[in-house]
Every structure is written in C-alpha cells, then in structure tokens.
Structure 1
Amino acid sequence: MTITPVHFFSHGSTMMLGEQSESADYWKKCGDEAIAHGVKGVIMMGAHWDCVGENKVEVSTNPNPGKSPVAYVHPSKYLDYTLVPDLESSKTCIDLLAKDGFDVTGNDKLDWIHDTYLILIRMFPDKCPPTTIISLNARFDPHFHMRVGAALRPLRMQGYLLIGTGGAVHNLYRNIWQPMLKYSDNFAQETPPEDWAMEFRQAVEDAISGNSGPELRRAITRLMKHPRYRDAHATDDHFMAAMFVAGAAGSEDDNGSYGRLHAETWELTNMCNSQFTIGAYA
C-alpha cells in the first residue's frame, strides 16, 4: 500500500521566507517530490494558531483566507501567492478527529499565518496545493497533539502529505537579535550556539533518527522532560508540531521507518531550524 512520508519542519524566523538557505532548498526538494508522486493535498499543524478548551481542536474552513503580515520580509515574497484551502479535506479531518473523540469544529474566519504559508511558498512556489490547517490546543499537552496526528494518520494512505511546522530549538528570548536588527542578517553567527541549544538539538535528532513506531511517540513526548527543554523552548507552541508528526508517523505499522535529518539552518545564533523526514514514498 502506498504511504506518504511525514515531515517535521522548523520554519524559523519570518526571515526564512526572505533569505535562501539549506532548509529552503530542502523544502523545495520535498515539494517537487510530492508533486512527482501526485500528492492529493497537504495537512499541516503549525505553531501560531491554538484554541481553548480541554479537548478542543479546530480545522481551517475559511474558503478565502488572507495572510497575516510577515515581519522583515518584503511583501513581494508572499503577497501574490494564492492560497488554496481544501474544504473537502477539512471535513474529512473533522470527521476523523470527531471519531477519535476530539471536540472538533471548523473555523471559517482563520487567516493563514507565516508558519504554514512560508513553508508552502518554499515547497510549492508555482502553485499552492489543496491545504488544510489543524490548530493546536492551548493546553499544549504533548499526548493530546500526538493523538491528533495519530487520528489523521490514515490520510497518508490516501495520498495526503502531513507536515508539522514548528521548531527544534525555538526560544525567542535567548536568541541574539542585534545582527538582524542592525543589518537584517538573521544568519550571522558571531559566536557559536550556546551549549543548551546544541544539547537539545542533538536530543531531538537522536529521538527522531533512533526510534520508530510507538517508540518514536514515546521518545518525542519524553523530550519535554529533557533538562534542557525549557532553555530550548520558553513556550511550548513550537514543539507541538513534533508531537503531531510523532502521532502521524508512529503507529505499529511504522515500525522500522526511521526519521532522518536532511537539512539544518542556524538563525539568530541560538535558533536551530532542523528539517526531518520520516518515511519515504513507496
């Protein structure tokens, strides 16, 4: 049975849309590969949209979404890119999530945010594929978001590409901002990344590359107990996408399918934008 891979992409700062990088090259490669294999649509969980409620999750159903502005990036990089919401697949996602016990509703007012359309522009610069966005839950429970990915895993066997777009190391409070603010240079590396960033970055790679199936789910959720986790993530929002990916790529049927680090871009000294793919097109 044909099954699509799953991507955990670190989208980084908004400047990742404005500047070329190894990560951007890999995103484009993944988009080209998806088109070559006839991908039916994209299902994404980002980092900047969450909803309130103990068991609540929302699915994008806005038929004509706008784009939230992108700081430090010229509007020509994104303003004319046409978004393609997939309302039919949104309903499919709602049905799958409801069947799994989630309190799920559509959101027909959501304007898309850079964490999702930045990736889409880089992956599919010529034309946006039909796309559905899944919200976070504001409690940021790792097991909750893993279950969301698990509930939507069957879509991988229907030709959908599942993507979590967050961050491997993403602590805005501990970044070095001066070169970007003074010179618009987000890739300046006047000093090496600090040890806490390097240590947690390595823990993420070890968890994804060294585990498969249910062991992947355990390894990824357990990272939130890592002694360097709070240094690497002052807030939990950007790590929930990793939980979504673990759910989507961590069933018993995924045993033996290991993730791999394919590209990495350090920004603002301490932000590590690691790009992982789990599995491959059959």
Structure 2
Amino acid sequence: MLTPVHFFSHGSTMMLGEESTSASYWKSCGDEALKNGIKGVIVMGAHWDCYGDQIQVSTNAQPGKSPVAYVHPEKYVDYALNPDIPTAQRVISMLAAAGFNASGNESFDWIHDVYLILIRMFPAQCPPTTIVSLNARYDPHFHLKVGSTLRSLRGEGYLLIGTGGAVHNLYRNRWAPMLRFRDNFAQETPPEAWALEFRQSVEDVLLKTSGPALRRAMTRLMKHPHYRDAHATDDHFMAAMFVAGAAGDAQDEGSRAVLGAETWELTNMCNSQFTIHSAV
C-alpha cells in the first residue's frame, strides 16, 4: 500500500495565522498520516531553488526559520523543526543515481512554504522531514523526474508533499484589504475569469487523469492560455510537477484524487488542496 501524495497550495503567509477550510484539511491529512504511522515527510516547496543544473536537499541539522510576514511570532517561533538527515542523504543518493546533480545544503534555513504546512498538519510535533529544492530553470520534466525518482519511498511509509499553488500570481492579487485591515480573505469582487478558468483546469487534470496521463496533462497546463496569468513565475507550479511524478507511474493508473478544500485569498489567489490516493 502506497502513501498518498499531496499537492497543497500554501497561499499567503496569513494562511498560517488565520483559520480556514484549507487549514482544517491540512490538519485532517496530518491526523490520517499519524494514524497510519508514516515514517517521515519528503517535501518540495516553492521558495528554494538552485542555479544551473543543481538540485539540493537540506542537510542542516539545526535549521532556523525565515520570518513570516503578517503572522504573530507565537504562531511559529516555538515550533521545533525535525530535519531527517539520514533520509536526506538517502534522497541525495537516489537523485544522483538517477542522473541529477544532487548535493546537500548544510546551511539552508526552512521557509514558510514548508513549515506553514507542517505546523498546520502536525501542530503537536514535527515529523522527520526532508526538504528537496527546486531547480531555477523550472523545467517541468525535470521536476516530474524528481518525483518519479522518489516515488518508491511511498511504499516505505514516507509522505510526499508538494507545496506550491494552483493559482498564484502575486502581481494580480488584490492586496489592499490585507494591507489595510489584515483581511486576506476579503472578496470585494469575484475572482477574475482567468483565475477561475485556470483553477478549473487544474482540478480537471488532477481529478480526471491518473498514471502517465496525469504527468502529460500536468505539463500541458504550462501551455494553457491562462497559465501565465495564473503564474507570473513558475516556482509555485513546480510542486505540482513533483506530485505528478510521484503519483503518475503506470502502477498509479486508476488512482483516486480528491479536492479536499479550497480557499480563495486576495481575490485572485486560489489555494486548492489535492490528495492523490493509491490505486491499490
């Protein structure tokens, strides 16, 4: 039995500070993971990337936390991180064996895209966690291969998570309510058509395809007419490629995906939360 794979849209920093249906869903996924005795978490975020052909894995045994804007420090400063160094070294070896220029990074401090999710999923205690970087060329096939290389760890009880965004274009968000009133959920107007259209396309891909078809459909989304409207930069969509790689093998044909929650922020940011369950 393989562990599920999650594609979580972490949204703005205020998703750590404010309650939402997404936060409730993250907690339910964490509870389920603990109930099933996961060995650890392997996560690819959106805020750490490497130049050239590099990909790195965090090997910092005592990482700090990057500050979180608009969130009171009591929400995160005392949360003890739990880096899984042995698994990090194993992941480096697996990636290197697959042809990646992979190495460890002993000075990387964790960023909110990762620990925001972990705090919401596992508020009592951080599980052993391994963080894998992006590559700054943002090649979708590169990140698919990263996910497919690490897919076998699902059979050993590791939970694989991509934390990015379904619709994440900071330039097209409506920031005024958050800046003036600290209200990230204000919807003074409906989301714009491009955001609704791309959001629906992401849902269609994840809920209506599986196996290798999922991988093909996910990469095609980067050619969607509204992709660049929905993602001014590619970083937050690479997590979806990682997830498609980890859950898009031929043996994953027929796997069941669910849209567990969805939270709109800043008018045009769509934080969709997807889980792909094992086909077995």
Aligned-partner SS, 1:136: strand
* Residue matched to 2:273: 275
**Matched residues in 2 for 1:281 and 1:231: separation?**
33
Shift of 1:258: 2.9
- Asked if structure 2 preserves the Cα contact closer than 8 Å seen for 1:62 and 1:107, the reply is yes
**Matched residues in 1 for 2:152 and 2:59: separation?**
20
Residues 1-282 of structure 1 aligned to structure 2 (within 5 Å): 2-54=1-53, 56-280=54-278
- Asked if structure 1 preserves the Cα contact closer than 8 Å seen for 2:259 and 2:275, the reply is yes
Q: Deviations over 1:80-134 (max 9, x none)?
A: 0000000010011011101110000000000000000000000000000000000
Shift of 1:143: 0.5
- Asked if structure 1 preserves the Cα contact closer than 8 Å seen for 2:58 and 2:88, the reply is yes
**Matched residues in 1 for 2:90 and 2:25: separation?**
29
Give the aligned residue type for 1:131.
T
- Asked if structure 2 preserves the Cα contact closer than 8 Å seen for 1:23 and 1:263, the reply is yes
Q: What is the aligned length? A: 280
Aligned-partner SS, 2:127: coil
Q: Deviations over 1:198-257 (max 9, x none)?
A: 000000000000100000000001100000000000000000000000000000010000
Give the aligned residue type for 1:266.
W
**Matched residues in 1 for 2:57 and 2:124: separation?**
25
Give the aligned residue type for 2:234.
D
Q: Deviations over 1:26-47 (max 9, x none)?
A: 0000000000000000000000
Normalising by structure 2, what TM-score?
Answer: 0.99
What 5-or-longer segments of structure 2 have no aligned partner?
none
Shift of 1:260: 1.5
**Matched residues in 1 for 2:143 and 2:2: separation?**
21
**Matched residues in 2 for 1:214 and 1:99: separation?**
22
- Asked if structure 2 preserves the Cα contact closer than 8 Å seen for 1:211 and 1:258, the reply is no
Moved >3 Å (runs of 4+): none
**Matched residues in 2 for 1:139 and 1:185: separation?**
34
CA root-mean-square deviation = 0.9
Aligned-partner SS, 1:216: helix
**Matched residues in 2 for 1:35 and 1:281: separation?**
21
